[in-house]
A and B are shown apart, each in its own frame.
Chain A
Amino acid sequence: MTTTTLPTYEAAVAGFEPVIGLETHVELGTNTKMFCGCPTDFGGEPNTRVCPVCLGLPGSLPVANKAAIEATIRIGLALNCSIATWCRFARKNYFYPDMPKDFQISQYDEPLCVDGYLDVEVDGKTVRIGIERVHLEEDTGKTLHVGGATGRIHGATESLVDYNRAGIPLVEIVTKPVPGIGALAPEVARAYVTELRDVLRGLGVSDVRMEEGSLRCDVNTSLNRPGEEWGTRTETKNVNSLRSVERAVRSEIIRQASVLEAGGRIIQETRHFSEETGDTRPGRSKETATDYRYFPEPDLVPLAPDAEWVATLKAALPEPPRVHRKRLQDAWGLSDLDMQSVVNAGAVELIEQTVAAGATAAAARKWWLGELARRANEAGIELSAVGATPEQVAELQTLVDSGKLNDKLARVVLEGVVDGEGSPTAVMEARGLAVVSDTGALTAAVDEAIAANPDIAAKVREGKVQAAGALVGAVMKTTKGQADAKSVRDLILQRLSGS
Chain B
Amino acid sequence: MSDLTRMTAVEIAAKVAGGEVSAEEVTRAHLDRIAAVDGKVHAFLHVDADGAVEAARAVDAKRARGESLGPLAGVPVAVKDVITTRGVPTTAGSKILEGWRPPYDATVVERLRDAGTVILGKTNMDEFAMGSSTEYSAYGATNNPWDLGRIPGGSGGGSAAAIAAFEAPLAIGTDTGGSIRQPGAVTGTVGSKPTYGGTSRYGLIAFSSSLDTPGPCARTVLDAALLHEVIAGHDWRDSTSIPQPVPPVVEAARLGLTGDLTGMRLGLVTQFDGEGAEPGVMAAFRDALAALTKLGAEIVDVSCPHFEYALPAYYLIAPSEASSNLARFDGVRYGLRVGDDGNRSLEEVMSLTREAGFGPEVKRRIMLGTYALSSGYYDAYYGQAQKVRTLITQDFNAAFEQVDVLVAPTTPFVAFPFGSRTSDPYQMYLADLFTIPTNLYGGPGISVPCGLSEGLPVGFQIMAPTMADDRMYRVAAALESAVGTLTPPSLEG
CB neighbours (8 Å) of B206 from chain A are 58-59, 299
Name A63's closest neighbour in chain B (CB-CB): B239
Q: Provided the pairs A58-B97, A291-B375 are in contact, do residues A100 and B333 lie with their beta carbons within 8 angstroms?
A: yes
The contact string, 1 if C-beta is below 8 Å from chain B, for chain A 53-82, is: 001111111111000000000000000000
CB neighbours (8 Å) of A52 from chain B are 102-104
The contact string, 1 if C-beta is below 8 Å from chain B, for chain A 293-316, is: 111001111000000000000000
Q: Choose among B100, B202, B329, B375 the residue that contacts A60 (Cβ–Cβ < 8 A).
A: B202
CA A52 to CA B203, docked complex, whole Å: 9
Whole-angstrom distance between the Cβ of B477 and the nearest chain A Cβ? 32
List residues of A whose CB falls within 8 A of some B CB: 52, 55-64, 91, 93, 95, 97, 100-103, 289, 291, 293-295, 298-301
Evaluate contact between B106 and A59: CB separation under 8 angstroms. yes
CB neighbours (8 Å) of B60 from chain A are none
Q: A59-B84, A59-B104 are in contact. List 8 more A-B contacts (CB 8 A).
A: A56-B328, A58-B90, A95-B327, A95-B330, A102-B330, A295-B321, A295-B378, A299-B209
CA A55 to CA B84, docked complex, whole Å: 15
Whole-angstrom distance between the Cβ of A182 and the nearest chain B Cβ? 36
CB neighbours (8 Å) of B202 from chain A are 59-61
Q: Provided the pairs A52-B104, A100-B328, A293-B374 are in contact, do residues A61 and B201 lie with their beta carbons within 8 angstroms?
A: yes
Whole-angstrom distance between the Cβ of A94 and the nearest chain B Cβ? 9
Evaluate contact between B320 and A295: CB separation under 8 angstroms. yes
Q: Which B62-113 residues have C-beta < 8 A from chain A?
A: 83-84, 90, 92, 97, 100, 102-104, 106
List residues of B whose CB falls within 8 A of some A CB: 83-84, 90, 92, 97, 100, 102-104, 106, 201-206, 208-210, 236-240, 320-321, 323-324, 327-330, 332-334, 346, 350, 370, 373-375, 378, 382
* Prevailing SS type, chain A contact patch: loop
CA A57 to CA B329, docked complex, whole Å: 10
Whole-angstrom distance between the Cβ of A100 and the nearest chain B Cβ? 7
CA A295 to CA B318, docked complex, whole Å: 13
CA A151 to CA B217, docked complex, whole Å: 54
Evaluate contact between B324 and A103: CB separation under 8 angstroms. yes
CA A57 to CA B97, docked complex, whole Å: 11
CB neighbours (8 Å) of A62 from chain B are 239
Evaluate contact between A57 and B327: CB separation under 8 angstroms. no
Q: Choose among B90, B92, B210, B329 the residue that contacts A298 (Cβ–Cβ < 8 A).
A: B210
Evaluate contact between A61 and B103: CB separation under 8 angstroms. no
A to B CB contacts below 8 Å, 11 in the list: A55-B333, A59-B203, A59-B206, A61-B237, A93-B373, A289-B375, A293-B375, A295-B324, A298-B209, A299-B206, A301-B239
Name B382's closest neighbour in chain A (CB-CB): A295
CA A279 to CA B378, docked complex, whole Å: 40
CB neighbours (8 Å) of B237 from chain A are 61, 63
Evaluate contact between B238 and A59: CB separation under 8 angstroms. no
Whole-angstrom distance between the Cβ of A153 and the nearest chain B Cβ? 10
A-B residue pairs, 3 tightest by C-beta: A102-B327, A298-B209, A298-B210
CA A300 to CA B374, docked complex, whole Å: 21
Evaluate contact between B324 and A293: CB separation under 8 angstroms. yes
CB neighbours (8 Å) of A64 from chain B are 239
CB neighbours (8 Å) of A63 from chain B are 236-239
CA A264 to CA B206, docked complex, whole Å: 50
Name B202's closest neighbour in chain A (CB-CB): A61
CA A148 to CA B370, docked complex, whole Å: 37
CA A52 to CA B378, docked complex, whole Å: 31
Evaluate contact between A58 and B92: CB separation under 8 angstroms. yes
Evaluate contact between B324 and A58: CB separation under 8 angstroms. no
Whole-angstrom distance between the Cβ of B380 and the nearest chain A Cβ? 14
CA A95 to CA B329, docked complex, whole Å: 11
Whole-angstrom distance between the Cβ of A71 and the nearest chain B Cβ? 19
CA A381 to CA B133, docked complex, whole Å: 66
Name A299's closest neighbour in chain B (CB-CB): B209
Q: Provided the pairs A62-B239, A95-B327 are in contact, do residues A57 and B102 lie with their beta carbons within 8 angstroms?
A: yes
Q: Choose among B203, B210, B332 the residue that contacts A97 (Cβ–Cβ < 8 A).
A: B332
CA A97 to CA B349, docked complex, whole Å: 13
CB neighbours (8 Å) of A57 from chain B are 102-104, 334
| Interface-centre pick from A102, A294, A298 (highest chain B CB count, 10 A) | A298
CB neighbours (8 Å) of A295 from chain B are 320-321, 324, 373, 378, 382
Whole-angstrom distance between the Cβ of B143 and the nearest chain A Cβ? 27
CB neighbours (8 Å) of B201 from chain A are 61, 299
CA A350 to CA B330, docked complex, whole Å: 49
CB neighbours (8 Å) of B97 from chain A are 58
CA A97 to CA B345, docked complex, whole Å: 12
Whole-angstrom distance between the Cβ of B290 and the nearest chain A Cβ? 41
CB neighbours (8 Å) of A95 from chain B are 327, 330, 350
Whole-angstrom distance between the Cβ of B414 and the nearest chain A Cβ? 33
Evaluate contact between B102 and A59: CB separation under 8 angstroms. yes
Name A292's closest neighbour in chain B (CB-CB): B375
Whole-angstrom distance between the Cβ of A141 and the nearest chain B Cβ? 11
Name B369's closest neighbour in chain A (CB-CB): A293
CA A64 to CA B240, docked complex, whole Å: 11
CA A55 to CA B328, docked complex, whole Å: 10
CA A62 to CA B346, docked complex, whole Å: 27
CB neighbours (8 Å) of B327 from chain A are 93, 95, 101-103
